[in-house]
Amino acid sequence: MDFNDSPEEAAYRAKVREWLDANATLRDPDAPRANMLDEAEGDYVQKAKDWQLTKHEAGWACLRWPKEFGGQEATAMESVIFNQEEGRYEVPPSIYGIGHGMLGPTIMAHGTDDQKKRFLPNMVKGDEVWCQLFSEPDAGSDLAGLKTSAVKDGDDWIINGQKIWTTGAQFCKWGMLVARTDPNAVKHAGLTYFIVDMEAEGVDIRPIKQMSGASGFNEVFFSDVRVPDANRLDAVGNGWRVAITTLMNERSSIGGSLGGGVGIKDLVKLAQGVEINDKPAIEDGGVRRKIADFAVRRSGLKYTGQRSLSALSQGATPGPEASIGKLVAAIMGLEMGEFGMELQGAGGILTSDEAGADPAWQHTYMAMPGLRHAGGTDEILRNIIAERVLGMPGEPRMDKEKPFKDIPSGTAR
């Protein structure tokens, strides 16, 4: 058991630091930071693109990817080292998580050579950003219940329907879309996966205002949108299998983050600065026990990440422990936000800092409910742990045998 870098890892880390030092400024590690994309402001898209291009030109982009697509064929550990180090610097919030983390790997696994050549190098360079067109109003957790249709017309497919909750669609060039190509087949068999040009005629992107007030996601309407058959990924009817590849990658990339921009140090400082019963809150036993419980979960998550990394660095795949990350992090983030507000007493409901309150807690409180849904809800994650990790029986299903068109779905009106 050894936490330290191997000599090769240490050398690599030094090289990364040297480059980052020359190209970015170190961040104040104690400053709470907004890490939800929807909190980003101003020209963040252009800034993110510029930073991606800088990394690309210096050979630090998509490190694990094959060289022929613009990657560096680095090891998993090297790519993690780069991310760890990059996290210590003042860099724009990434707009590439979905593309680089989920969609790129899906193209690598299921795409044709032409598709890989056409799409992957531009994804690395970053001038083309990608979004994930999976969820629909009536198909979220029940993704395979989606209804957006694709009908063959010569060498094209005609897409009609609606996607929703599409993060980043407003600035994306490409989207990965799952559509129903055969409503007479059973549910999971009638799906096909497509690459869609978000600038094509008939694509209508409308921002959705989130409960936090920001608009990180959108609804996307498709009216007779033409997609060339060359942009179909994998075989007709194979869409579910391809979608699972995307989702597996989603879990591992989302699981990596700890959720929320606030940390244990912030909590200690807050408790030192406010009072309960005329004494600093940090002297209150109840407050102290709660902080300890947050700290224990935080470190537990952090070292769960290290266990996965360790498996990666030994050339093994991370074990099932990786699946708890987002579930634990989102709930804890929400509770930490609530607790930070609680400590601020009556002022805890204020969302600007004019009155001396620190609004990072309120932002966390408003952002975490979204994280509990995104990338699989808490309940779906518990189903996955129970069924896939532990091997407990699945739910009784009413939707397995019939043609899709005969299955009830969505909200009864």
Partner 1 sequence: MNFDFSEEQKLLQQTAKEFLEENSSLVHVREIFEADAGYSKALWKGAAELGWLGVSIPEEYGGAGFGYLEAAMIAGEIGAYLAPIPFSSTVYLAAEAIKRAGDDAQKTKYLTGIASGDLVGTMATTEKVGSLTEKSINATFDGSKLSGTKLPVCDGDEADFAIVLAKEGSGLSLVVVDLDAAGVERKKLQSLDPTRAQAQLTFNDASATRLGAAGEGWDLAQDVLTRAAVLMAFEQLGCADRAFQITFDFMMNRYAFGRPIASFQSLKHRMADLYADREVARSNCYWAAWALENDHEELREAAASAKISASDALDHTTVEMIQMHGGVGYTWEYDCHLFYRRGKVLAHTLGTTDEWREKLVTKLIEDAA
Q: Is 324 in the site for partner 1 (CB under 8 A)?
A: yes
Name the residue with tokens 């989102």. 330
Kindly tell me which residue out of 165, 174, 365, 404 binds ligand FAD, with binding defined by CB under 6 A. Answer: 165
Distance (Å, whole) CA 18 – CA 12? 10
Q: Would you say 16 or 131 has its CB closer to ligand FAD?
A: 131
Q: Is 141 in the site for ligand FAD (CB under 6 A)?
A: yes
Three-state DSSP class for 37? Answer: helix
Tokens encoding 252: 């591992």
Min dist. Cβ of residue 314 to ligand FAD (A):
32
Q: Would you say 141 or 184 has its CB closer to ligand FAD?
A: 141
Other Cβ atoms less than 10 A from the Cβ of 110: the count is: 18
Of 14-22, 58-66, 159-167, 308-316, which segment contacts ligand FAD by CB under 6 A?
159-167
Distance (Å, whole) CA 251 – CA 216? 20
Q: How many CA atoms lie within 13 A of 411 on its CB side?
A: 5
Residues 6+ apart with CB under 8 A from 332: 259, 260, 294, 297, 298, 301
Report 362-391 residues binding ligand FAD (CB under 6 A).
370, 373-374, 376-377, 379-380, 383
Q: Which of 78, 85, 136, 250 is catalytic?
A: 250
Q: Are strands 156-167 and 130-133 parallel, antiparallel or unpaired?
A: unpaired
39 labelled catalytic: no
Distance (Å, whole) CA 4 – CA 312? 15
Q: Is 327 in the site for partner 1 (CB under 8 A)?
A: yes
Q: Which does 209 bind (CB under 5 to 8 A by kind): ligand FAD, partner 1, none?
A: none
Min dist. Cβ of residue 58 to ligand FAD (A):
29
Q: Is 291 in the site for partner 1 (CB under 8 A)?
A: yes
Distance (Å, whole) CA 384 – CA 82? 30
Q: Is 140 in the site for ligand FAD (CB under 6 A)?
A: yes
* DSSP track, 343-381: HTGGGGG--SGGGS--THHHHHHHHHHHHTTTTS-HHHH
Of 192-200, 231-239, 254-262, 299-307, which segment contacts partner 1 by CB under 8 A?
299-307
Identify whether the C-beta of residue 158 lies closer than 8 Å to the C-beta of residue 225. yes
Of 291, 160, 279, 293, give the one whose Cα is nearest residue 227.
Answer: 160
Report 67-126 residues binding partner 1 (CB under 8 A).
77
Kindly tell me which residue out of 37, 91, 282, 341 binds partner 1, with binding defined by CB under 8 A. Answer: 282
Interface ranges with ligand FAD (CB under 6 A): 131-132, 134-135, 140-142, 165-167, 217, 370, 373-374, 376-377, 379-380, 383
Residues acting as catalytic residues: 250
Interface ranges with partner 1 (CB under 8 A): 1-6, 9, 77, 264-265, 268-269, 272, 282, 285, 288-289, 291-293, 295-297, 299-304, 306-307, 309-311, 313-314, 321, 324, 327-328, 379, 381-383, 385-387, 389-390, 392-396
